[in-house]
Amino acid sequence: MSGFLSSSIGKKFFMSITGLFLVVFLLVHLTANLALLFGPNAFNIVSHFMGTNPLIQIMQPILAAGFIVHIIYATFLTLQNQKARGNDGYAKVVNSHQSSWASKNMYILGSLVLTFLVLHILNFFWKIKVTGSPLLAEVEVNGEAMENAYALVAALFTDQKLGLVYSLVYIFGAIALAFHLTHGFWSAFQTLGMSNDIWRKRWTVLGYLFAFAVGGGFAIIPLFLMLFA
């Protein structure tokens, strides 16, 4: 087993497993977020559910661990890969047509997503769980008291001074994530050995659809709030 952990395929195995786990997380997170399009009450009910459901609470530290493993292994592998070329690199490299831009820049895209993630956590999760905010004053929905998470989200994107900046940063984050997924999705299945000439095409198409849905889905929220809130 120690040989497995230090082998190249072993490390990549953890990259794919954690990657696919994060893909599932994105799906849950996006579904919850899209409740916002159905108005403040719908969003508050969903965020109250996410904040109190025991299964979600158990999954939170596991999710954090998933992120950490994915990032640490990515760093290890990228450092090794940069060393593998040797001291003298090529003077001239023509990129072959087949490799997508995303596939060659996964670490950069991942770093952008991580930077966005830190900002995103400070904007919402941190305020809800740790510091609190006057915007979160309790509201009553269907006879149940809950935090007004909608007000916190809407305030960020409709702020007089910084609303537009935050919206653009969030849309940019969604685009970076989408590009990361265009390569990451099928690549995870390839690394797990669940691919051949036929399935590679299927995973790639599915990956692009998923990336488009996730990127578009997350980008809609700031756009929606800017235009309609």
Partner 1 sequence: MDLKLKIWRQKDAKAKGQFELYSLNNITKDSSFLEMMDVLNEQLLSQGIEPVAFDHDCREGICGMCSLFINGRAHGPDTEITTCQLHMRKFKDGETITVEPWRSNGFPIIKDLMVDRTAYDKILQAGGYVSVNTGGVPDANAIPISKEVADEAMDAATCIGCGACVATCKNSSAMLFVSNKVSQLALLPQGKAEASRRAKAMVSKMDELGFGNCTNTGACEVECPKGISISHIARLNREFLMATAKE
Residues interacting with partner 1, by CB under 8 A? Answer: 1, 3-4, 6-13, 77, 80-81, 83-86, 88-100, 103-104, 106, 183, 186-187, 190-197, 200
Is 77 or 117 the residue whose CB approaches partner 1 more closely? 77
Positive or negative: CA dihedral 18, 21, 25, 30: positive
Least distance (Å) from partner 1 to the CB of residue 115? 21
Is 39 or 193 the residue whose CB approaches partner 1 more closely? 193
Q: What is the DSSP string of 118-153?
A: HHHIIIIIHIIIII--GGG-EEEETTEEEE-HHHHH
Least distance (Å) from partner 1 to the CB of residue 17? 11
Q: Which of 223, 229, 219 is nearest to 154 (CA)?
A: 229
Q: Are 186 and 212 in contact (CB under 8 A)?
A: no
Phi, psi (rounded to 5 degrees) for 45: -65, -45
Is 13 or 166 the residue whose CB approaches partner 1 more closely? 13
SS3 33: helix
Q: How far is CA 170 from CA 61, 112, 165, 215, in A?
A: 24, 11, 9, 10
Least distance (Å) from partner 1 to the CB of residue 12? 6
Is 111 or 158 the residue whose CB approaches partner 1 more closely? 111
Is 18 or 191 the residue whose CB approaches partner 1 more closely? 191
Least distance (Å) from partner 1 to the CB of residue 113? 16
Least distance (Å) from partner 1 to the CB of residue 79? 10
